[in-house]
Amino acid sequence: MSDTHTAAVMAADGTPLKARLARAMFRRKLDAFLLVLPLLVFLMVFFLAPIAWFLSKGFHDDLFATEMPNTTAALADWDGSTEPTEAQYAALVTDLIATRKTKTIGKVATRVNREHSGARSLFTSSARKAAKLDAPFKEALIKTKKAWGDIAVWQGMKAASRTYTIGYYANALDRRQLADGSIVAQPEQRQIHVKLLIRTLEISLQVTLYCLLLGYPIAYLLATLPNRTSNLLMILVLLPFWTSILVRTTAWIAMLQSQGVLNDLFVFFGVTADEARFSLIYNKLGTLIAMTHILLPFMVLPLYSVMKGIPPSYVRAAKSLGATNWTAFWRVYAPQTVPGIGAGAILVFIVAIGYYITPALVGGQDGQMISNFIDFHMRRSLNWNLAAALGTVLLVVVLTLYWIYDRVVGIDNMKLG
């Protein structure tokens, strides 16, 4: 074996051919990579980094620590259960005066209010009087508002003063972090997020199931009809796919509302009385119907492309061997469509779970999904930290499914239209 080492093949200029080849391959790899690089940088700057930055707010919140530096320092070595000291009160008064001057007291008050409800008015009203207070500050503050003597307020501040906190994640999963760092379940009436997540999964699962039930027959029909006919029928699948989601949602409002087309038909045929029209929309049912319609093409297209590749001779062979129609379909044809079912189902589920527009417009109260809550916290309650924590939960679910999709189907096999 040692001969091969001594007699390495040389290139024309005397360097080993192996090294030359490796260098050439490296150059080609680099060339290919350089073509992709601009796009990768673009996505990194305008997509990946922004999302990562935003989601980091789920565990990073330095508002209280920056605005109330003295209090934060005084709270750092407080154990959370003993009586607050005069030094703590003094630091608080200094910070209250400062935040009132910089007009950030509102933000600070809102932040503490998330940990201890009722703290907002306590902070804003006391900040107004803080400049006139004299030492000892403990008695003076408690004299302006009794609540300052309540240790729960201090525990709330202690929780708010943590720059890195798992409090928002705890909240996103219906738990609460106490001042001593332990995590407990929220009171019954405030447990909304887990229920919401379960409802989101439930709606997505139902939509996926309905899409499969409706998509499988027509994909089969499209795959088995002669090309000319199936191309024409394909338009009926592709036209909805290409039509704006807003248009389709509007159309379903026109179809389903109590004075809408379907209810008019029901009244006309005597299915229901004029005064007892069905409420088909602005509830979970409306969300289910509209989302199934919108996502159906995502199921039909992958199913169709898989079914198109199944040779009809297999079913014929099964029948010639004595299988009934049902057996031939169930034992021979259906197993071959499983990759299509997998691709379609995962795709529909991924799109459904992050759906926002349709539930927002036709979902009413019980048709809202987790995306609607994230949007609510982004634009209405302005609790971006909680939005980030909820977003992380949603993203983890979606990325897990994406990973499964890649395993099962392969991203390269994704097709459009």
Partner 1 sequence: MSGLPPYAGFGERLWYYTFRVICGLIFLFLITPILIVIPLSFNVEPYFSFTPGMLSFKSEAFSTRWYLDILQNGMANPDATTGWWADAWSNSQWVRSMKNSFYIGILSTLISTALGTLAAVGLSRSEMPFKNAIMATLISPMIVPLVITAAGAFYAFSQFNLAYTYSGLILAHAVLGIPFVIITVTATLVGFDQSLVRAAQSMGASPITTFFKVQMPLILPGVISGALFAFITSFDEVVVVIQMAAAEQRTIPRQMFSGIREQISPTILAVATVLVIISIALLATLELLRRRSERLRGLSAS
What residues contact 289, with CB distance under 8 A and at least 6 apart?
Answer: 252, 256, 280, 281
- 92-100, 113-121, 139-147, 355-363 -> range binding partner 1 (CB under 8 A): 355-363
Residue with tokens 């109330």: 68
Residue 247 interacts with partner 1 (CB under 8 A): yes or no: yes
Residue 12 interacts with partner 1 (CB under 8 A): yes or no: no
Of 140, 178, 194, 245, the one binding partner 1 (CB under 8 A) is 245
* Smaller CB separation from partner 1, 155 or 249: 249
Helix, strand, coil in percent for the chain, rounding step 5: 75, 0, 25
Of 130, 299, 345, 374, the one binding partner 1 (CB under 8 A) is 374
What residues contact 292, with CB distance under 8 A and at least 6 apart?
Answer: 207, 210, 211, 214
CB 215 within 8 A of CB 296: yes
The minimum distance between CB 86 and partner 1, in angstroms, equals 40
* Smaller CB separation from partner 1, 108 or 218: 218
Q: Per the structure block, which two tokens stand in for 222?
A: 């499209």
Residue 190 interacts with partner 1 (CB under 8 A): yes or no: no
Q: Report 277-336 residues binding partner 1 (CB under 8 A).
A: 293, 296, 312, 315, 325
* Smaller CB separation from partner 1, 111 or 293: 293
Residue 205 interacts with partner 1 (CB under 8 A): yes or no: no
Distance between CA 316 and CA 322 in Å, rounded?
Answer: 10
Q: Report 32-91 residues binding partner 1 (CB under 8 A).
A: 32-36, 38-40, 42-43, 46-55, 57
- Output phi, psi for 302, to 5 deg: -65, -40
**Binding residue count for partner 1, defined by CB under 8 A:** 91
What DSSP element (H or E) covers 185? strand 183-185
DSSP state of 14: S
Residue 21 interacts with partner 1 (CB under 8 A): yes or no: no
DSSP state of 48: I
Q: Report 250-279 residues binding partner 1 (CB under 8 A).
A: 250-255, 257, 259-261, 264
